[in-house]
Structure formats: C-alpha cells, structure tokens
Amino acid sequence: MKKILLEAILVGAAGILLAWLANAVSPRGLVLTRNYFPDGTGRMAQHPSNTDPASPAGTNALALRIAQLGFRPVDRETVVQLHNDPFFAQELIVFIDARDEAHYAEGHIPGALVFDHYHPEKHLADVLLACERAEQIVVYCTGGDCEDSVFAAVTLKDAGVAPGKLMIYAGGIEDWRRNGLPVETGARNSGRIAP
C-alpha cells in the first residue's frame, strides 16, 4: 500500500511538472498569470435562467452587468442602424468581433474587426488604432451565454479606449444570423457575403 502511495505521489509530481512544461511550450498554452476574465463581476451564468440573454432574467442580468461596467447595451435594431450608417464606411463606427479567428472566419458581421481578447497580442494594436479614430464601437461575440464581448470591452477600456464609446451587442452573431442579416466569411472586407 505504501509503495502504491509513493508511486502515485511520484506520478502526480512528474505529471504536474511535465504538464506545466507542455503548457509553457505549447503555442496555444495559457499564460498562467493573466486575468482572462477581467470584468471582476464574477460568473454570470450562475443559474440556467441567466444563461439565455433572450430570457428576461438573462437580459436583465447582462444589461445590469454591462451598465455596471460603464458600457451601453444595444439591441439588434440599433446595431443594424449603426451598420447602415454612412459613418460606418468612414470607420467612425467600428464593429469588433470578440470571438477567435476560426469562428470569425466562419462568418462575422461585414466589416467587423477580429479581437480575440484571450490572445490580445494578435490584434490589439490594429484594434486600438481603429478605436482611437472611432466615435462609436460595437462589440459582440456569439450571443447566448457568451461573455467574451464584455471581456473584450473591458480589455479595450483598460487599454485606454473611452468606455462611453463602447457598446455591447449581447445578441451577438447568433441573433444577427437568425434574423437573416448578411455575414461576411474569411478575412475582413473579403467581399464574400453570405445571405
């Protein structure tokens, strides 16, 4: 029994060490000291009723949280208006897709910039440049219980973007698609628009 316990301790220690090394050398590895959930308000989806922003409880919880952080929640009608606004073409209104590159390439709101806040080193410089010029910034992610738009907005705020410019479209790309609005696939301004 003692032998097995010692062996288990050895396996555990070697496993932790090797796992730590594997994470350190993996290009997809996590930075252990980084705060990936920077809003400081805790997990939103504590209860199933809070996981669906379409439900009243979900909508209220998310709207309250967005407001607490100093951002403005926006609905689909407003987002469509902003997307059709001539200022959008002049990049005075900017859309930011807070999902990862793979999901972005599968389909995003036409003209949106990609900003995966879990890997800020990839796009932060470009996004900040666009945010500096912009007067209004719409941030969205998948929708449903996705919180990445909030985290991305907090990251941008922490990087110096005025919170008053930042709007959160909680319905996200799911709500956008569900209503038959066009999505762009591939890179930004690729011209590949799916109905």
Partner 1 sequence: MTSRKGTWNRLAEPAAVIVRWVVGALFIYMGLRKALAPVDFLKLVREYDLVQTPLLLNSVAAILPWFEVFCGVLLVAGVAVRGTAAVLIAMLIPFTVLVVQRALELHSGGTPFCAIRFDCGCGAGEVYICNKIAENVALVLLSAWLLAGRGRALALRFSLGRTPPAAS
Considering only residues 6, 125, 159, 194, which one is a binding residue for partner 1 as defined by CB under 8 A?
A: 6
Considering only residues 101, 118, 181, 185, which one is a binding residue for partner 1 as defined by CB under 8 A?
A: 118
Stretch of 46-54, 61-69, 81-89, 90-98 contacting partner 1, by CB under 8 A: 46-54
Radius of gyration of the chain (CA): 20
Residue with tokens 């796009």: 123
Q: Collect all residues with Cβ–Cβ distance below 8 Å to 49 and sequence separation of at least 6.
A: 55, 57, 58
Q: In angstroms, rounded to a whole number, what is the distance separating the alpha carbons of residues 165 and 137? A: 6
Pairing mode, strands 166-169 and 136-140: parallel
Decide if residue 55 touches partner 1 (CB under 8 A). no
Measured from the CB atom, is 118 or 188 closer to partner 1? 118
Decide if residue 30 touches partner 1 (CB under 8 A). yes
Decide if residue 191 touches partner 1 (CB under 8 A). no
Stretch of 41-49, 76-84, 122-130, 186-194 contacting partner 1, by CB under 8 A: 41-49
Measured from the CB atom, is 98 or 167 closer to partner 1? 98
Binding-site size for partner 1 (CB under 8 A) equals 37
Q: In angstroms, rounded to a whole number, what is the distance separating the alpha carbons of residues 153 and 161? A: 9
Decide if residue 54 touches partner 1 (CB under 8 A). no
- HEC profile for 119-180? CHHHHHHHHHHHHHHCCEEEEECCCCCCCHHHHHHHHHHHCCCCHHHEEEECCHHHHHHHCC
Alpha helices in 26-96 (DSSP H): 56-68, 76-84, 86-89
Stretch of 8-16, 122-130, 134-142, 179-187 contacting partner 1, by CB under 8 A: 8-16
**Rule CB under 8 A: which residues touch partner 1?**
3-12, 14-16, 18-20, 22-23, 26, 28-37, 43, 45-49, 100, 118
